Structure formats: structure tokens, C-alpha cells
């Protein structure tokens, strides 16, 4: 019973939090504008053009993971790495943050690699990712200080909001998101300790975590990292040209929205649904986009990009099933050859001569 309640909480709380924020945001939105935007009111070609960047971000992540495993003596197939990444993002739509563990488990199964080493490499990757996000954030904040100050005030995180006692629905939403993100970080740290103690050998975990320090080509690792985050940014920025009211905002506005969106997805909701909508909409409004238009934009962009994640996850399931079947066929053929050689020694002799 306790396990059932725990699983319901893991799945139910993120959905409830996302639903509550989305309901609060869209309860007063004119839904006719959403249908008009979808039915000829937006430029679908720009939306389609943004999608390859969403795919390339995940492919770059798979390529980076592959070279991160090389110092460990592991050389998994790139196709399997890609499918594991696709599946991890899709699975996180159901249970937030489960994807990192899932991709390690799937690759361990398909490529016969120890789970702790894979998990350790993922931890080191995430450290690099967080460093890049903070670097993005620092550069963006220094170049867009007035916008960020206005953003903190609008979301209830500014000095004035705390001074008056955190009043207002926006302030409550912001604080709830921050507390949820902190809770997730604490839970992840706890789970890492449990994994190290109960599931895997600590030596393997440390070996995986230090693999980045032993890279044969660290510049290639950094290049792939830049490819990941450059693709994420372009995946978002190109969508600005889908709507007339965002097409003229420019790359700086997109960068501000992108950075705050990166922190919003730390909140444990499926693909950041709710918190991401809230903060990106706020940024767009600071740049002059009307309330209803900003709400429509973030809803359409997030929904279509989430659909891409789902499609890639479904593709990964099929591709992995095909890979599994092919591996079994090769293993069966190999076993059959061994049996034939044992039953017919002359075949073995002929094979050696050949």
C-alpha cells in the first residue's frame, strides 16, 4: 500500500501542480485566438523548421554520452545511445526525472555495460550542463539586467514582493515552483546515495563520474555540449517567427526567455508544463507582447514540442525492439555455428583453413 501511494504521489503531484498552474493561467484566455492561430494565424513553416533543432539536441547528447563512455573502455552503438536518449525524454513526460535512470538501464541492457558506470557518466554530464546553463544565465543577466529586475518583480520574486509579504497569485505560484524544484534536487541527491549503497558498486559510480576528466578529446566533448545547448536555443528561438507579435523581438529576448525557461523545467512537472508557461509568458509580456498573445504562443510552442518528444519516444521503442530482435538473431546464428562445429569437427577444420 505504501508503494502504491508513493507511486501515485510521484505521478499525481507533478500532474496536479502542472494542471493547477495551467488552469490559473488559461482560465481567462480567449480560446478562439488559439484556434485562429492554429488555423492559418501562424506560420507553420517556421514551426517545422524549428523541429530539426529539437532532434539534433538529443542526437548531440547521445554523441557526447558515447565519447564520455570511451575512457571507461565502453563503445556502445550510437544508434542505441540515441534511442535511449529519445526514450528518456519521453518517459520523463510521465514521471518527471525518471528518464536519466531509465536511459542508463536501457543502455546497460542493450550494450552489456555496468549500470553504475553509466549512471556516473550521466551525473558528470549533468554537472557540465548546469555549468553551461549558469554561464548562459550570467551572460544574459549582465546584458539584460533591467529585464531581469522587472521579471523578478512580475513573478513575485523581487524585493518589493517579499517586502509586502509575498502576496498575489503570481507570487504564490513562483514560490511553489521554487520549493518544488528544491524538493526534487534533495530527492535526487538522496536517490543517488541509495543507488550507490544498494544498487550498484560505489567504485563503478565514481569511475563513471570521473570519466569526463579522462577524455581523450575534451574539445569534442565541449563542442557537442555547445551543440546541445545551441540546438535547444534555436529550437525555441525559431518559433518566434511563427507569430507576428514575437517575430520582431530578436535573439536577446529569446535568450532571456530561454534562460528562465531552463530553470522552470527544474520544477517536477511533465516537460516543465505550467512553470515553463508561466515564466516564458511573463518574459514575453515584459518585451511588449499582450497577455493573451503571450499565453497562446507558449501554449502552442510547448504543446508541439512536447508532441515531438512523444514521437521520438515512440520511434525509440520501435527501433530498440528491432535492435533487440536483430541481436537475438545474431546470437542464435552464432550459437548454431558453434553447435555445428562441435557436431562436425571437419567443419571446424575447414573454417580454420579458410
pLDDT digits (tens, 9 = 90+) for 335-347: 666 556 666 555 5
Angle at 284 between CA 282 and CA 286, to 5 degrees: 70
For the chain, how many structural domains are there in total? 1
- Does a structural domain hold residue 54? yes
Is the pLDDT at 133 greater than 90? The verdict is no
- What's the grid cell of residue 158? 523581487
- Does a structural domain hold residue 294? yes
pLDDT digits (tens, 9 = 90+) for 176-233: 555 555 555 555 545 544 444 444 456 655 666 677 778 888 899 999 999 999 999 9
Helices (H), ranges, 70-216: 78-91, 99-111, 115-143, 145-154, 159-163, 169-194, 202-209
Q: How many CA atoms lie within 13 A of 230 on its CB side?
A: 9
- Does a structural domain hold residue 8? no
How far does CA 116 lie from the centroid of its chain? 21
- Does a structural domain hold residue 10? no
- Does a structural domain hold residue 84? yes
- Does a structural domain hold residue 295? yes
pLDDT digits (tens, 9 = 90+) for 144-170: 777 767 666 665 555 444 343 334 555
Positive or negative, the CA dihedral 264, 268, 270, 273 is: negative
Predicted structure pTM score:
0.79
Q: What is the length of the chain?
A: 354
- Does a structural domain hold residue 93? yes
Instruction: Print the domain residue range for 235.
Output: 46-151+202-323
Nearest 5°: phi and psi at 246?
-115, -15
- Does a structural domain hold residue 319? yes
Amino acid at each position: 500500500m505504501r508503494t502504491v501511494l508513493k507511486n501515485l504521489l510521484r505521478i499525481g503531484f507533478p500532474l496536479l501542480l502542472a494542471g493547477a498552474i495551467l488552469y490559473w493561467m488559461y482560465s481567462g484566455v480567449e480560446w478562439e485566438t488559439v484556434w485562429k492561430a492554429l488555423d492559418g494565424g501562424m506560420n507553420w513553416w517556421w514551426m517545422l523548421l524549428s523541429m530539426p533543432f529539437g532532434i539534433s539536441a538529443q542526437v548531440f547528447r547521445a554523441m557526447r554520452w558515447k565519447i564520455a563512455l570511451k575512457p571507461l573502455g565502453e563503445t556502445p552503438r550510437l544508434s542505441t545511445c540515441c534511442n535511449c536518449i529519445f526514450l528518456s525524454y519521453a518517459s520523463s513526460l510521465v514521471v518527471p526525472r525518471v528518464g536519466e535512470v531509465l536511459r542508463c538501464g536501457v543502455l546497460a541492457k542493450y550494450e552489456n555495460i555496468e549500470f553504475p558506470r553509466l549512471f556516473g557518466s550521466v551525473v558528470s554530464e549533468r554537472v557540465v550542463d548546469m555549468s553551461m546553463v549558469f554561464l548562459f544565465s550570467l551572460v544574459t543577466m549582465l546584458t539584460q539586467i533591467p529585464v531581469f529586475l522587472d521579471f523578478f518583480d512580475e513573478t513575485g520574486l523581487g524585493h518589493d514582493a517579499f517586502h509586502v509579504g509575498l502576496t498575489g497569485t503570481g507570487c504564490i505560484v513562483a514560490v511553489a515552483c521554487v520549493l518544488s524544484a528544491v524538493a526534487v534536487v534533495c530527492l535526487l541527491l538522496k536517490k543517488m546515495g541509495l543507488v550507490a549503497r544498494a544498487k550498484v558498486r560505489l567504485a563503478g559510480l565514481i569511475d563513471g563520474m570521473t570519466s569526463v576528466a579522462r577524455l581523450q578529446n575534451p574539445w569534442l566533448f565541449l563542442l557537442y555540449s555547445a551543440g546541445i545547448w545551441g540546438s535547444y536555443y534555436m529550437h525555441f528561438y525559431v518559433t518566434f517567427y511563427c507569430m507576428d507579435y514575437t517575430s520582431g523581438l530578436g535573439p536577446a529576448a529569446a535568450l532571456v526567455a530561454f534562460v528562465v525557461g531552463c530553470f522552470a523545467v527544474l520544477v517536477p512537472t511533465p516537460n516543465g508544463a505550467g512553470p515553463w508557461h508561466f515564466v516564458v509568458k511573463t518574459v514575453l509580456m515584459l518585451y511588449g507582447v499582450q497577455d493573451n498573445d503571450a499565453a497562446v504562443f507558449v501554449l502552442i510552442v510547448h504543446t508541439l514540442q512536447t508532441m515531438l518528444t512523444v514521437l521520438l519516444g515512440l520511434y525509440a521503442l520501435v527501433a530498440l525492439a528491432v535492435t533487440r530482435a536483430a541481436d537475438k538473431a545474431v546470437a542464435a546464428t552464432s550459437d548454431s555455428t558453434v553447435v555445428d562445429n562441435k557436431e562436425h569437427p571437419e567443419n571446424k577444420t575447414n573454417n580454420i583453413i579458410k
